[in-house]
A and B are shown apart, each in its own frame.
Chain A
Amino acid sequence: MIKAFVLLFLFLSNTFAIAQVTPVYNFQKDDPVLKKKYVEEASQQQKILINNLANEYKRDFIRVYDDRFKEVETLLQSSRIVTSSEPFNYLNAILKRIVDANKELKGIKIRMVFSRDRWPNAYSMGEGTIVINAGLMTFLDNEAELVFVLCHELAHYYLDHGNNAIKKNIERINSDEYKKEIRRLSKKEYRVNEQLDSLVKKITFGNRRHSREFEAEADRKAFEFMKKTGYDLNAIKTCLQMLEKVDDSMLFNPLNLEQSFDFKDYPFKKRWIKNESLLFDQVNSDLSLKERNDQDSLKTHPDCEMRIDLLKDSISTLNNGQKFLENESYFKQLKKDFLVEMLVQDYRDENLTRNLYYSLVMLQKGENTPMAVISVIRVLNKIYDNQKIHQIAKTMEKESNHFSEDYNLLLRMFDRLKLDELANLNHHFCKHYEAQMEGYEGFSNEMDTANKNAK
Chain B
Amino acid sequence: MKKICAVGILVLLALCSYSQKGSIENVYDITLRNAGVIKEDAQVKGYYFFYVSDKIDKKNNEFILSISDNNLKKIKDIKFQDSKNITILNSAFNGSELAFVLHNEMSDKLEYKIFSSDGKLKHSYINELEGWFEVEKMGKGPRTEDQLKQSLYGEIYPIKGEGFISKVLEKSGRSFNLTYYSGKSKKQWSYKPTGKFKMSGAFFLGTINNKILFHVIKFNGIFDKNPESSIIALDIETGKLLFENSTYNSKYKLFPSKITDVGNSKGVVYSEYYSADAAIVKDKSMGFALSEIDENGQLIKEKQFSWKEGLEKYFVVSDKGKIDDFGFLFIHDITQTDNGDLFLIGEGFKTSGLKTHTTDLMLLHFNKAMDLKEARIFPKQSNPVNLDGGGGLMSNQTKGIIMKQEQKFDYAYTVENFDKTSFTIGYTNYQKDKNYKGITFNSISYYEGKLTTDKLFNNSEATISAVLPAKQGQVLVLDYFKKDKRLEFHFEKMN
Contact = CB atoms under 8 A, between A and B. Distances in A.
A398 B72 contact: yes
B492 A279 contact: no
A274 interface: yes
A425 to B, nearest CB: 14
A193 B29 contact: yes
Interface in A401-453: 401, 415-416, 418-420
Interface in B70-126: 70-73, 75-76, 93, 95, 98, 117-119
B119 A280 contact: yes
Interface in A167-198: 189-194, 196-197
Given A282-B118, A392-B493, A418-B473, A398 B54 contact: no
Interface string A258-293: 000000000000010010111111111010000000
Contacts of A283: 75-76, 117-119
Contacts of A121: none
B220 interface: no
Contacts of A278: 45, 69
A398 B71 contact: yes
Contacts of A277: 40, 45, 95, 418
B421 interface: yes
B289 interface: no
B281 to A, nearest CB: 41
A276 to B, nearest CB: 4
B421 A279 contact: no
A427 B474 CA distance: 24
Contacts of A392: 491-493
Contacts of A279: 38, 40, 45-46, 67, 69-70, 75, 93, 98
A106 interface: no
Contacts of A191: 54-56
B189 interface: no
Contact of A190 (B57, B69, B76): B57
A274 B418 contact: yes
A281 B69 CA distance: 9
A286 B118 contact: yes
Contacts of B492: 390, 392-393
A394 interface: yes
Contacts of A102: none
Contacts of B417: 416
Nearest to B61: A190
Contacts of B471: 415
Contact of A194 (B62, B67, B452, B494): B62
Contacts of B46: 279-280
Nearest to A393: B490
Contacts of B494: 390
Contacts of A399: 71, 73
Contacts of B43: 276
A193 B67 contact: no
Contact of B493 (A193, A274, A276, A390): A390
B76 A280 contact: yes
A416 B474 CA distance: 9
B69 to A, nearest CB: 6
Contacts of A192: 54-55
Nearest to B47: A279
A280 B69 contact: yes
Nearest to B419: A271
A393 B494 CA distance: 12
A316 interface: no
Interface string B461-492: 00000000001011001000000000000111
B62 A280 contact: no
Interface string A193-234: 110110000000000000000000000000000000000000
Given A283-B118, A416-B473, A271 B421 contact: yes
Given A189-B55, A283-B75, 8 more contacts: A192-B55, A193-B29, A194-B62, A278-B69, A279-B69, A280-B46, A280-B117, A392-B491
- Shortest 9 CB-CB distances between A and B: which pairs? A276-B418, A393-B490, A398-B71, A279-B45, A193-B54, A279-B46, A419-B495, A390-B492, A283-B76
Interface of B: 28-30, 38, 40, 43, 45-46, 53-57, 62, 67, 69-73, 75-76, 93, 95, 98, 117-119, 417-419, 421, 445, 447, 450, 452, 456, 471, 473-474, 477, 490-495
10 contacts: A190-B55, A191-B55, A276-B419, A278-B69, A279-B67, A387-B493, A392-B493, A393-B490, A418-B447, A418-B473
